[in-house]
Amino acid sequence: MIVFQKPKALTDAVLHYCPGCTHGIVHRLVAEAIDELGIQGRTVGVAPVGCSVMAYNYFACDMIEAAHGRAPAVATGVKRAMPENIVFTYQGDGDLASIGMCETVHAAARGENITIIFINNAIYGMTGGQMAPTTLPGQVTQTSPYGRDVATQGHPIRVCELLSQLDGPAYLERVTVNNVKNVRNAKKAILKAFKNQVEGKGFSLVEVVSSCPTNWGMTPQKALEWIDEKMLPYYPLGVYRDKEA
Amino acid sequence: MAKLTVNEELCKGCGLCVGACPKHILALSKSKLNKKGHSPVELQKPEDCIGCAFCATMCPDCVITVEK
């Protein structure tokens, strides 16, 4: 009996991510959710700009590549034109919380019936480790070599808390994937975000606190510990909106 | 007995599975390199594997298949 194998909603393409990058884990969780709900044939994904720009190669469903940050707007269009399709976006923090903040906030305010998977790793990965809107105070990056100084560079943005001030979203949860237990919880959250859309409940966003071993300058295992030590105190896990509850 | 299959060519040797294994029976190979130059993960004591799939749960690259 097979206990664990690659989900069918992932293609056989080799992931281009760095060793130990948690993008791979989240890709798998999204694919497992698509498999479990049996919606592979009618799912449309929207890929972002950033490390996960080539996500369209990895999901075995229809995929669209959006302009930088515009994935929620593209998803809105697809969902409104073809409401029977399940539309999700997969975005990083540079894409969703920086250049795409406007699209994100307005899609949430409108309560679009789409699913957003948001990867927050507190840094710009693809471009080489620059400071992101989610970079922690004091965190050293390529563009904050002395650590992020909130007096000049501002404070990190907590996306779930910010969106929870709006009336539009149906479901907002922050999860992480730094150990087996948390991966299982993340799976439940992602599954729920997709299920909400199938049931027509409205805007669902799951923020996944992730690691970037390469640009954080750590081993993959140490990066997972760093999530516990540094990221989670600033980005507390939990459900920020659940219209059912 | 549980059976673990590692797709060695896809393994990037990140070691997240090694840290997740509750039986501490996974290790990165000291003698092998795959085509990409990574040391793939190896099961040191196949008889001790309990098939919990913790390794596969943490693997970012879907390298591991677990059977029971």
Complex ipTM, two decimals? 0.96
A60 inside domain: yes
A84 inside domain: yes
**Residue A119's domain is classified under what CATH number?**
3.40.50.970
Residue-wise pLDDT tens digits, B5-59 = 999 999 999 999 999 999 999 999 999 999 999 999 999 999 999 999 999 999 9
Which residues in chain B have Cβ-Cβ distances shorter than 8 Å to A15? 60-61
Residue A45: which domain range? 23-242
A8 inside domain: no
pLDDT at A245 over 70: no
DSSP chain B: --EEEE-TTT-----HHHHH-TT--EEE-SS---TTS---EEES-GGG-----HHHHH-TT--EEEE-
A124 inside domain: yes
A14 inside domain: no
Q: What are phi and psi of B38, to 5 degrees?
A: -95, 150
Q: Count the neighbouring beta carbons within 10 Å of the beta carbon of residue A59.
A: 24
A216 inside domain: yes
A116 inside domain: yes
In chain A, how many domains are there?
1
Residue-wise pLDDT tens digits, A8-67 = 999 999 999 999 999 999 999 999 999 999 999 999 999 999 999 999 999 999 999 999
Interface check for B50 against chain A (CB to CB < 8 A): the answer is no
Question: What is the pLDDT at residue A228?
Answer: 97
H runs (alpha helix) in A112-172: 150-153, 159-163
**Could you tell me if A228 and A38 are in contact, meaning their C-beta atoms sit under 8 angstroms apart?**
no
* Min Cα–Cα distance to chain A from B52, Å: 8
Task: Say whether A6 and B62 touch across the interface (CB within 8 A).
Answer: yes
A53 inside domain: yes
CATH architecture of B3-67: 2-Layer Sandwich (3.30)
Characterize the bridge pairing of strands B64-67 and A2-4.
Answer: antiparallel
